[in-house]
Amino acid sequence: MPARVAPTRSSTAPPMREAPRPSAPRSSTPGSGTPGSSAPGSRSRLLGAYRLLTAIAHPLAGPILSWRTRKGKEDAARRPERYGEATVARPDGQLVWVHAASVGETMSVLPMIDRILGGGDFHVLLTTGTMTSAQIARARLGIRAIHQYVPLDGPRFVRRFLGHWRPEMAIFAESELWPNLILETARSGATLALVNARMSDRSFRRWQSGSTMIGQLLSRFDLCLAQSQDDADRLSALGAGSAVCVGNLKYDVPAPAADEGEIERFTAALAGRPRWAAASLHPGEVEAVLDARGTLAASYPDLLTIIAPRHPEKGPEVAAAAASRGLTVACRSNGDMPASGTSVYLFDTIGEMGLAYRLAPIVFMGGSLIAHGGQNPIEPAKLATAILHGPHVHNFADVYATLREAGGAEIVADAESLAGRVASLLAEPDAVALHAAAANAAVAAYSGALDRSMAALDPFLAAAIGER
């Protein structure tokens, strides 16, 4: 079994083409213009309609946020931030704004934020859209970085946000293409960059056959750094004239940490029991994992199944589903330790996947048995874990293809095949070790995107800081 795979066109960055250089600054006034105005070139009717509808839909923001708060998806104490109302003062001096959607994007930009802060005497504002990512930001950001929730994509909210923060440069991660956010930021005169950008083939075909709206948005970016050459080609075809391939930042995210004392404590408690993990599970996958666990129990009666739901607040639902089958469940959020009779151990906490992955030699990555698109497998690969996944991984197609080609990941179709593959691996520890080593070597081979991204960003950062 190979431990390393040669780079393919779509999964890694070739030697980077020369990135675009900063051009003359925009002569714009923050907050100016009307909701219907758009980017250079022919106007998109769809974009104009979106701008108009979001301008008149401001009264709906309150009921929407109230509903999301009841669902546990909004932080009531920080709700003003979603209206663009800052809850902290803007620091004096230069400010770079970095926006990431959720947990995965946040983890990928944190090393970039560290590099930005280390390269100059300015501050960084990080915005995200989920409570989990906010908790990670709170734990990881240093004293010169601030976290705020991103405002809702209404012109009034975005202008209020920009009027307070006045960033010299804005860096958006991956596919965060909110129209008002992009257009108003460009109008403010801030330099705009899109990093770790991706455009799936499915999204490309949809945009290509539809409105010119995407071109109106992508053309606003001064720099577009893509995960793969295919992504760069698609983005360029849609209107991002500055798209270049630098690789995937997620390959450069450090392996998640874990407390050594906790590792020792759990290892002692498990006392050599066979175990596997199912991580980042979404609704519709828990039952399949519990079905697989039931099948495995016939051959491995003392098997421990570690489950980490994608959203920790779903922990009680997962625990109830397991308990309904007569299984004994222990929950990390309660401070429980797995006892000899524990069948399912639930990691329903934030920031502890490093511990979960270190305890399990085999992991099934969720979001892949349903049409969600998969979850990022790079973290378990960096911790030398054998990886299984379902057929729906289009959000991370290149990463999973790299792992499969290297022999570090395998596809399972359903609960039955999941149980069969886990059973085979449990019976062959040497095979598990080979799979894990292959996964680890594969992701190590694709590092370097952070260095290439910073090399492309540095001239724009220097120009933006010098011009404002």
**Per-residue H/E/C for the chain:** CCCCCCCCCCCCCCCCCCCCCCCCCCCCCCCCCCCCCCCCCCCCHHHHHHHHHHHHCHHHHHHHHHHHHHCCCCCHHHHHHHHCCCCCCCCCCCEEEEECCCHHHHHHHHHHHHHHHHCCCCEEEEEECCHHHHHHHHHHCCCCEEEEECCCCCHHHHHHHHHHHCCCEEEEECCCCCHHHHHHHHHCCCEEEEEEECCCHHHHHHHHCCCCHHHHHHCCCCEEEECCHHHHHHHHHHCCCCEEECCCHHHHCCCCCCCHHHHHHHHHHHCCCCEEEEEEECCCCHHHHHHHHHHHHCCCCCCEEEEEECCHHHHHHHHHHHHCCCCCEEEHHHCCCCCCCCCEEECCCCCCHHHHHHHCCEEEECCCCCCCCCCCCHHHHHCCCEEEECCCCHHHHHHHHHHHHHCCEEECCCHHHHHHHHHHHHHCHHHHHHHHHHHHHHHHCCCCHHHHHHHHHHHHHHHHHHHC
Catalytic residue among 18, 74, 81, 105: 105
Q: Is position 105 annotated as part of the catalytic site?
A: yes
Catalytically active residues, by annotation: 105
